[in-house]
Amino acid sequence: MTRACALLASLALIVPVAAGAHQLNVFASVDCEAVTVEAKFSNGKFASEGEVRVLDGENALLTTFPLEADGTRRIPLDSVDHSGGLVIEVDTGSHDDYWIVTPEDIARNCGS
Amino acid sequence: MKQSILVAPLALLIAAAPAAAHYGMIIPNDPMIAQEDGRSVSLTMSFSHPFEMDGMMLDRPVAFSVTHEGATTDLLGSLQDATVMDEQGFTLDYPLDRPGTYVFAMEPQPYWEPAEDAFIIHYTKTYVTAYGDDEGWDTELGLKTEIVPLSKPFGLWEHNVFQGIVKMDGAPVPYAEVEVEFFNDGAGATAPDELMITQTVKADADGVFTYAPPAHGWWGFAALNTADYTLPQDGVDKAVELGAVIWVHFEEWTGQ
């Protein structure tokens, strides 16, 4: 089992999955510089406020950021230890969701 | 006895005639890709009688594309040759870089069907959603002929209805005939009568049709109309059957 698979499998058991009307969907893209977080409701509207929690591959909290008003947040890669992947959680107070950035995601999108 | 002699060969002829419909097929490994499933979707393209798992030759299509967030990308050059149901088909692994609905569409080469004395062109499409975001599920591609979904074309329970509008050149086709067939891959479904291999429903005056499948799995909907043009076969102009095909997966109900 790859580290990415192990990370996904373990986190699937830990992290609660939000569901229901106006479900929050969190997505994070990554390049060599930063992780860009996007939080959007299922009706297409971006979340205008919320807390972004950044956890490492062992599910330990690294740092938190406020969500920008446009539903995004840019997290510089050099500000966090991303060697084991990252878990990006967004909590708007009434909804939450997460996205897992695997080491393979970083390597693939960074061209290495 | 004269009557019996006549009936026997006729019965043989009828039994040998194809009862199933032709379907262009685009079948993904999963119509709803979650982040835990990876970062790509695997597609299998074929031409077949799907209930009977009877494959036919699918030549390299005229067009194959994906539409996502309003942008259409040509993927024709990325298709990989494959054998599907013992015949020529294609596969494609496509990376899903962002959330949303990806609409894969194929325009095959005209298929000459001697038994129907006509060409068949099935404009085929399948909708795949990525990472929990269904935006774009009702995308209309503007194909020559197309079924535009009114029900989300994924995330349906078995026995839910699927509704769509049959369109030709962008306009609804009143009372269009829509053939419905199950992709009998590993399901072992049998039909008590040939009429139940391919079922048929008609659209209403606005081109809207409705169908509820009896079981989970992939179901193909093909709205068939005759083109307003012909194609030559051995120097003779022949009719062209235009099919608007959409494949929809219904999920197994998990309750008691």
> Where exactly are the structural domains of chain B?
17-251
> Where exactly are the structural domains of chain A?
3-109
Q: How confident is the model at residue A19 (pLDDT cuts 50, 70, 90)?
A: very low
pTM of the model: 0.89
Interchain contact, A23 vs B132, CB within 8 Å:
yes
Q: How confident is the model at residue A106 (pLDDT cuts 50, 70, 90)?
A: very high
Cβ-Cβ pairs closer than 8 A, A with B, add up to: 26
Distances (CA, A) of B18 to B15, B22, B37, B195, B241: 8, 10, 39, 11, 17
Q: Is the pLDDT of residue A74 over 60?
A: yes
Query: Which residues, other chains included, contact B164 with Cβ-Cβ below 8 Å and sequence gap of 6+?
Result: B147, B148, B149, B150, B151, B153, B208, B209, B221, B246
Q: Which residues pair with B222 in a beta bridge?
A: B179, B245
CB B174 within 8 A of CB B167: no
B36, B99, B134 member nearest A27 (Cβ): B99
ipTM of the predicted assembly exceeds 0.85: no
Q: Is the pLDDT of residue A4 over 60?
A: no
Longest dimension (CA), chain B: 71
Query: Which residues, other chains included, contact A37 with Cβ-Cβ below 8 Å and sequence gap of 6+?
Result: A26, A27, A28, A52, A67, A72, A73, A74, A75, A88, A90, A99
Q: What is the mean pLDDT of each run of 10 residues along chain B (256 residues)?
A: 45 44 95 97 97 95 98 98 97 97 98 94 98 96 98 98 98 98 95 94 98 98 96 96 97 93
Contacts of A95 in chain B (CB under 8 A): none
CB B202 within 8 A of CB B153: no
Look at residue B77 in the predicted model and tell me its pLDDT.
Answer: 98
| Fold of the CATH domain A3-109 | Immunoglobulin-like (2.60.40)
B36, B131, B134 member nearest A27 (Cβ): B131
Interchain contact, B99 vs A25, CB within 8 Å:
yes
Distance CA B256, CA B250 (A): 17
Distance CA B118, CA B120 (A): 7
A12, A25, A108 member nearest B133 (Cβ): A25
Interchain contact, A40 vs B133, CB within 8 Å:
yes
Based on its alpha-carbon atoms, the radius of gyration of chain B, rounded to whole angstroms, reads 19
Interchain contact, B133 vs A29, CB within 8 Å:
no
CB B159 within 8 A of CB B25: no
**pLDDT tens digits, A30-39:** 999 999 999 9
A42 in contact with B, Cβ within 8 Å: yes
Residue of A nearest to B136 (CA): A44
Look at residue A20 in the predicted model and tell me its pLDDT.
Answer: 53
Based on its alpha-carbon atoms, the radius of gyration of chain A, rounded to whole angstroms, reads 13
Q: Is the pLDDT of residue A98 over 50?
A: yes
Look at residue A1 in the predicted model and tell me its pLDDT.
Answer: 42
Residue of B nearest to A40 (CA): B133
A39 in contact with B, Cβ within 8 Å: no
Interchain contact, A25 vs B98, CB within 8 Å:
no
CA-based nearest distance A50→chain B, Å? 19
Contacts of A42 in chain B (CB under 8 A): 132-134
Distances (CA, A) of A99 to A94, A111, B97, B99: 18, 21, 13, 11
Which one of A5, A27, A90 would you mutate to disrupt binding with B, by most B Cβ within 10 Å of its Cβ? A27
